[in-house]
Structure 1
Amino acid sequence: MPHLSGAQYGKDNIRVYKVHRDEKTKVHTVVEMTVCVLLQGDIETSYTEADNSVVVATDTMKQTVYILAKEHPVTPPELFGATVAAHFTDTYKHIHSAQVKVKVHRWTRINIDGQSHPHSFLRDGSETRNVVATSTDEKGIEIRSAISGLLVLKSTGSAFHGFVRNEYTALPEVWDRILSTEVDAGWVWNTYKSLKDVESAVPEFDKTWDEARTITLTKFAQEESPSVQNTMYHMCEDILAAAPTVQSVEYSLPNKHYFEIDLSWHKGLKNTGADAEVYAPQSDPNGLIQCTVSR
């Protein structure tokens, strides 16, 4: 006999923009987010018996996010995500787990003649700062922070050789290559018992995000990389060393390939090996390398 073995629902793609206006300095600070709320709990009868009395409407979720954004800080996003998640499990006793995803879009202050403009910004990339906060009855609040969409490239300083070779292998070994990837890095914090504990940890969130981003960029740029696998492992090690209350770090790095173009057919033009200058960027297929490093 069929039974409902899992159920959750919510509101996705809630767009939120908040501005803070400093009346003394006339400087504005802006935050733009996309929020997703998903609820679990005693909601089975809404599926099996058309009983809507257990349903918190998804429009209510949207309005709740707007109201909490007005009443509470939205930075750091770890705190805001935890605030929203805890609200749903505290307010609705039949809701036992609330997961809130927060994606912060990048707005950078415009500089004019070396001076930061007080209220003008630019979108200087697709990189986002992401948070998933989950509040669960009798368990507490779990938070995962992340960097996503950070596109990086180095034109040398990467190699890949010594891998398995057999009759299916066409890839040549290389001691110097272009390396490009779109960074998706996340770290999971030790579980917080309550929203108050999350509030006490607020200084750690921005600090660790900045450190993780700096570690990622520094290690990527400076390391003579023998492989994406080894470089990402070192990134994880460094983040764990920098953040004592983080329990695990994970990376997902697609290998965005740039292939040499043989132009020798045109008047013997040399464009391979040491003479390569013009490459063909590839969109797909691509390598995808992932790892998780835990304490």
Structure 2
Amino acid sequence: MASLAAARYGKDNVRVYKVHRDEKKQTQTVTEMTVCCLLEGDIETSYTEADNKPVVATDTVKNTIYILAKQNPVDPPELYGAILAAHFPAKYSHIHAAHVNIIVHRWTRINVDGKPHPHSFLRDGAETRNVEVTFRRNEGFTITSKIGGLLVLKSTGSAFHGFHRDEYTTLKETWDRILSTEVDAQWTWKRYQTVAQVESDAATFDKTFEAARKTTLKIFAEDNSASVQATMYKMCENILAEAPRVEAVEYTLPNKHYFEIDLSWHKGLKNTGKDAEVYAPQSGPNGLIKCRVVRRPASKL
């Protein structure tokens, strides 16, 4: 006997671009997003009995995404995500929860002759600012903010030695290596109950994103890294210290390897150890390191 255990549906890959025109300053600001919005509720019969009456069409979800973007601020994305997620349970009594995922694509204002241009922008990397918002009726909002696709590299200041060795180990210890990774960092906020509470923290979301990004880059650059694990833990600690409303921080860091090339076969050419200058970037396999660091209860501090 089959039974529907879980279900959600909605619209994915909704591309949204919004321009804000400041007539007083004669400048424009742009935001480009990719939005996914999925709904949960009393929708079982649409799966089990081919009954479409409870289905709020995914096209309706798409239209709502655009209309609410027109009627409300889209910055910070945490606020827009909360407005969008709260809309569906408020509008439809049989919808109990909404899950919103927002990817904000990076547009950076162009500097011309040392001055920021009022309406021209460039895509200076694949990095994105991401947000996940879940709203459940009678439970409030769960909000997670993210940095995605931030590619970083340093040519020294990283080591890896003293690790466990056994009959399966071939990796050599190193006291100096290239360290490169694509940062995927996220932090989960304490629960909010209303859109108004989220709106009151709008400036905090922006401030924390910039602080988390700055902390990530600073520690990556300055830490004399004993391992990816040790470096990422320091990043988590710092974000928790700087953002009191954040409950947990997670990092996912793939280790993008750059291997030395032994060229001694060619006339004794030295290109290993302290003589290494030419490396072979690797596409895989690669190390993948994750951690989640939570705030300790006050009684344990």
With normalisation by structure 1, the TM-score equals 0.99
Q: Which residue of 1 is the match for residue 100 of structure 2?
A: 100
Whole-angstrom distance in 2 between the partners of 1:30 and 1:5: 41
Whole-angstrom distance in 2 between the partners of 1:90 and 1:293: 34
Q: Which residue of 2 is the match for residue 72 of structure 1?
A: 72
Shift of 1:264: 1.0
Q: Which residue of 1 is the match for residue 166 of structure 2?
A: 166
Q: Which residue of 2 is the match for residue 6 of structure 1?
A: 6
Q: Which residue of 2 is the match for residue 143 of structure 1?
A: 143
Whole-angstrom distance in 2 between the partners of 1:152 and 1:220: 8
Structure 1 position 130 matched with structure 2 position 130: yes
* 1:64 alignment partner, SS class: helix
- Which residue identity is paired with 1:67? I
Q: Which residue of 2 is the match for residue 275 of structure 1?
A: 275
String of CA shifts for 1:39-92, please: whole Å, max 9, x gaps. Answer: 111000000011111001000001000000000000000000000000011111
Shift of 1:25: 2.4
Whole-angstrom distance in 2 between the partners of 1:10 and 1:67: 16
Whole-angstrom distance in 1 between the partners of 2:28 and 2:202: 22
* 2:283 alignment partner, SS class: coil
Q: Which residue of 1 is the match for residue 223 of structure 2?
A: 223
Whole-angstrom distance in 2 between the partners of 1:268 and 1:112: 50
Shift of 1:24: 2.2
- Which residue identity is paired with 1:77? P
* 2:143 alignment partner, SS class: strand
Q: Which residue of 2 is the match for residue 61 of structure 1?
A: 61
Q: Which residue of 1 is the match for residue 298 of structure 2?
A: none
Which consecutive unaligned segments of at least 5 residues does structure 1 have?
Answer: none
* 1:52 alignment partner, SS class: coil
- Which residue identity is paired with 1:66? Y
Which consecutive unaligned segments of at least 5 residues does structure 2 have?
Answer: 296-301
Whole-angstrom distance in 1 between the partners of 2:90 and 2:8: 17
String of CA shifts for 1:203-235, please: whole Å, max 9, x gaps. Answer: 110000000000000000001000100110110
Q: Percent identity?
A: 69
* 1:39 alignment partner, SS class: strand
Whole-angstrom distance in 2 between the partners of 1:206 and 1:189: 13
Q: Which residue of 2 is the match for residue 48 of structure 1?
A: 48
With normalisation by structure 2, the TM-score equals 0.97
Q: Mapping of 1:10-21 within 5 angstroms?
A: 10-21=10-21
- Which residue identity is paired with 1:25? K
Whole-angstrom distance in 1 between the partners of 2:128 and 2:157: 27
Whole-angstrom distance in 2 between the partners of 1:172 and 1:153: 21
* 2:117 alignment partner, SS class: strand
Equivalenced residues, count: 295
Q: Which residue of 2 is the match for residue 207 of structure 1?
A: 207
Whole-angstrom distance in 1 between the partners of 2:196 and 2:214: 29
Q: Which residue of 2 is the match for residue 90 of structure 1?
A: 90
Whole-angstrom distance in 2 between the partners of 1:239 and 1:58: 37
Shift of 1:188: 0.2
Give 4+ residue runs of structure 1 displaced > 2 Å after superposition.
none
